[in-house]
Amino acid sequence: ETGVTQSPTHLIKTRGQQVTLRCSSQSGHNTVSWYQQALGQGPQFIFQYYREEENGRGNFPPRFSGLQFPNYSSELNVNALELDDSALYLCASSDRTGGNRIYGYTFGSGTRLTVV
Amino acid sequence: GQQVMQIPQYQHVQEGEDFTTYCNSSTTLSNIQWYKQRPGGHPVFLIQLVKSGEVKKQKRLTFQFGEAKKNSSLHITATQTTDVGTYFCAGRPTSGTYKYIFGTGTRLKVLA
């Protein structure tokens, strides 16, 4: 098992720019969820992908979009970056959409995005 | 909107003391998960509760799901310095969505 890997680990962008964050899910996992975690807050659900289709979305504007690839890896794209988008972006994978009863969701170490 | 609140926000305890964090949802939950996040780390899954009134134990940790499936608690007996971190509950609403709503978290500090 390689776990969930995310890249890059840190990123600095300018307001108005676009960013793409990447996630490789754990081997055998077909479901990927993305979360935004502001400093001192709990993770906020952005969306979930299952077999390359979005099957759940939180309260985030359309400039947050994603993709899941046939190998179940995933991307999070954010357009027109705003200062408030500065946060830790976490990717979580599972072998089923409701989370594995025994193992839950496996989180990656996240990408720390700073928008200046 | 759907919210999940946790209390307390912070807790400092002496090593060996007990600790409890409470999780309350504004809506009925299908199930609830608990995660631990160490400082500078990422959430790590602890457990999932599904049934009304369910109680599960993991060594010194006891997890409980309320009868109405709107609240939950995590109790740690005889805390150790390795218990330091933020504990989050994450509830999945019964509305059919697959999203989990994370609570606000309880940050635990254990003084040796």
Question: What is the enclosing helix (H) or strand (E) of A46?
Answer: strand A44-50
Please determine, for residue B100, whether its predicted confidence score (pLDDT) is greater than 80.
yes
pLDDT reported for residue B96: 65
Give me the mean pLDDT over the A4-33 stretch: 95
- pLDDT beyond 90 at B98: no
Chain B, residues 52-81, CB within 8 A of chain A, namely none
Span of A15-24, A91-100, B19-28 with lowest mean pLDDT: A91-100
Counting one residue from chain A and one from chain B, the pairs whose CB atoms sit within 8 A come to 65
Q: Does B45 touch chain A (CB under 8 A)?
A: yes
- Provide mean pLDDT across the span A75-84: 98
State phi, psi for A37 to the nearest 5 degrees: -125, 105
Averaged pLDDT for residues B78-107: 92
Q: What pLDDT was estimated at residue A1?
A: 53
Nearest to A19 by CA among A99, A101, A76: A76
Whether B104 sits inside 8 A of A109 (CB atoms) is no
Q: CB neighbours of B59 closer than 8 A, spacing ≥ 6?
A: none
- Residue A34's pLDDT is 97
* Mean pLDDT for all residues in chain B: 95
B42 touches A at CB < 8 Å: yes
Average pLDDT over residues B20-47: 95
> Which residue is listed with tokens 């504004």?
B26
Tokens 């010194």 correspond to B60
Q: Report pLDDT for B2.
A: 81
Which of A25-34, A53-62, B9-18 tops mean pLDDT? B9-18
pLDDT beyond 70 at B49: yes
The token pair that represents A80 in the structure block: 């027109």
Higher pLDDT residue, A3 or A100? A3
Instruction: Determine the Cα–Cα distance for residues B91 and B49; give it in Å rounded to an integer.
Output: 10
Q: Is the pLDDT of residue B46 over 60?
A: yes
Contact with chain A for residue B99, Cβ under 8 A: yes
Radius of gyration of chain B (CA): 13
